[in-house]
Structures are given as C-alpha cells and as structure tokens.
Amino acid sequence: MVKSSRTRPLLVGNWKMNGLRASEAEISALAEGLGGAQADVWLCPPVTLLSHFIGVFKDAPLSWGAQDCHAQESGAHTGDVSAEMLADIGAVSVIVGHSERRRDHAETNAIVRSKLSAVQRAGMVAIVCIGETLEERERGDVIPVLEKQLRESLPEDVDGSKTVLAYEPVWAIGTGKVPSSGEIVEVHGFLRDRLDARGIGGVPVLYGGSLGPGNADWLLRLDHVDGGLIGSASLKASSFLGVIRACQQG
C-alpha cells in the first residue's frame, strides 16, 4: 500500500446540521469503543455542541473540530464565528470548502482560501474539501476541476503541517454511491503528486462520500487514501466504530 507519511489513518466525523445535547450518549459510546483504535479520530459536531463536548470529553482519545468559520478574526458579521473563537474553546481543526457550503453559501475557491488562512493563523488544522459534481464527471473533467480547486483553494504560503485534504465527489455525498477503486486511486495519486510538487507532500488525503462500515474495509486500504471524512456514518457510535474497526483488520 502506498500512503503518505502518516502512520495511522485519520478518520474525521462531520455531523453537519445534526445533533442535540442528547447526542452526548453517542459520544460516550464512541469514546468507550475507541480503546485500541488503530486510527486517529476527529469529530466535528455542530458549533452549538462543540464547547460542551470538548469539556465533557476532555480525556477521550478524540480531537475536536468545527465545520466552518469566518475568514476574519472579529467584526461586524452577524451570526458568524471566527477561527480564533473556535481555537479559544479548544477546537484543533476546521473543515473549509465543504461542497454543501460551496452550494448553500456560494463559497468560491477564493473564500475557501481565505478561510483556510484564518484557520492556520489561529493555529488549527484546515481540512479542505474538493470534489467534482456529477455533471463535471460526465463531461470527463474530473482532473481539471480538482486541479483548479486545489490550486485556488490553497494559499501560496499554506502550512502543509496544518493542512488535510479531503476528496469528496459531490455526487457520492449522502447517496450511497462511491467511485470505483481504480477511480479513487487515480484521483488520490494525482492529488498526491500535486501536493508533492508544492512541497507539502506530508498532507494527508482523505476520501469522503458515502464512506461507512460496509465499504470502509476496501476504501481505506486503497493506495494514497490516508483516511476518511465521514458524514452520516459518524452520527451513530455503532456505525462510526464500524468504520474505525476497519482500520484494525489485517
């Protein structure tokens, strides 16, 4: 298997707009099941729960992240949360450029780039998402689309030690569909080459989109796949642990 310099897979749970205080029971069950895990597990709950969970689960073998932030440190931006505010409550990572943010909030690569800089300025890891739509895929444009997103979403002075890249085909998110193993290896190999060429070859490249306990076994073993970004399968401890345990076998 060809992997980045990471010794363990990185699994990031993205709860999206899901979870209430009662969801604490899921985190308790997850934390209990993590003993002996052969993966690093990060969780990004909604911002309403983040501070509470960080406090309650401070001894759990989990790292905490947010799903978005504003690019500026403070100011007149009603409803927004800055990277500095997230770092202040103990978050260590922030997802930027998720396709749902790009779609629902018209986030461009330039906006994603400035958010990424904000996250790194605040001392956290930016998990930057890229991925093609079905239309782009059917046009045969996967590689050019990803190349442009990657080039424009990463600032010149990006800190590779504080960057994680997630390849998430938009058409695979929440649909139960995933690309073939050959397609994923080709894309991840391409991304790995581009990162190497920029001198940030240590950046892990995660796969995301309908990754769950039923397919984690083969997906996480593919060349150049350093872990996963997991949406719906991260909401329940049982299914997230199913993904995590896939890293343990053989």
Interface with ligand PGA: number of residues (CB under 6 A): 13
User: For ligand PGA, what does the binding mask look like between residues 224 and 243, x meaning CB under 6 A?
Assistant: -----xxxxx----------
Query: Is 43 or 229 the residue whose CB approaches ligand PGA more closely?
Result: 229
User: Is position 96 an interface residue for ligand PGA (rule: CB under 6 A)?
Assistant: no
Q: Which of 210, 213, 227, 241 binds ligand PGA (CB under 6 A)?
A: 210
Active site residues: 98, 168
User: Is position 94 an interface residue for ligand PGA (rule: CB under 6 A)?
Assistant: no
**Gap between the Cα atoms of 43 and 202, Å rounded:** 21
Q: Which of 168, 187, 203, 224 binds ligand PGA (CB under 6 A)?
A: 168
Q: Which of 130, 211, 225, 237 binds ligand PGA (CB under 6 A)?
A: 211
The radius of gyration computed from the CA coordinates of the chain, to the nearest angstrom, equals 17
Structure tokens at 218: 């083969």
DSSP 180-224: -HHHHHHHHHHHHHHHHHTT-TT--EEEESS--TTTHHHHTTSTT
Instruction: Count other Cβ atoms within 10 Å, centred on residue 8.
Output: 14
At residue 184's C-alpha, the angle toward residues 108 and 104, to 5°, is 25
User: Is position 103 an interface residue for ligand PGA (rule: CB under 6 A)?
Assistant: no
In sequence order, the β-bridge partners of residue 207 are: 167, 228
Of the listed pieces 137-145, 156-164, 209-217, 218-226, which binds ligand PGA according to CB under 6 A?
209-217
Closest CA to 175 of 141, 208, 137: 208
Q: Which of 9, 65, 204, 208 binds ligand PGA (CB under 6 A)?
A: 208
Residues 3-62, interacting with ligand PGA (CB under 6 A): 14
Of the listed pieces 34-42, 105-113, 167-175, 195-203, which binds ligand PGA according to CB under 6 A?
167-175
Query: Is 49 or 209 the residue whose CB approaches ligand PGA more closely?
Result: 209
Query: Is 19 or 201 the residue whose CB approaches ligand PGA more closely?
Result: 19
Q: Which of 61, 160, 174, 202 binds ligand PGA (CB under 6 A)?
A: 174
**Gap between the Cα atoms of 50 and 86, Å rounded:** 9
Q: Are 102 and 139 in contact (CB under 8 A)?
A: no
Task: Please name the residues in contact with 51: beta carbons below 8 A apart, sequence gap of 6 or more.
Answer: 89, 90
User: Is position 220 an interface residue for ligand PGA (rule: CB under 6 A)?
Assistant: no
Structure tokens at 39: 């993966």
User: Is position 209 an interface residue for ligand PGA (rule: CB under 6 A)?
Assistant: yes
Residues that bind ligand PGA (CB under 6 A): 14, 168, 173-174, 208-211, 229-233
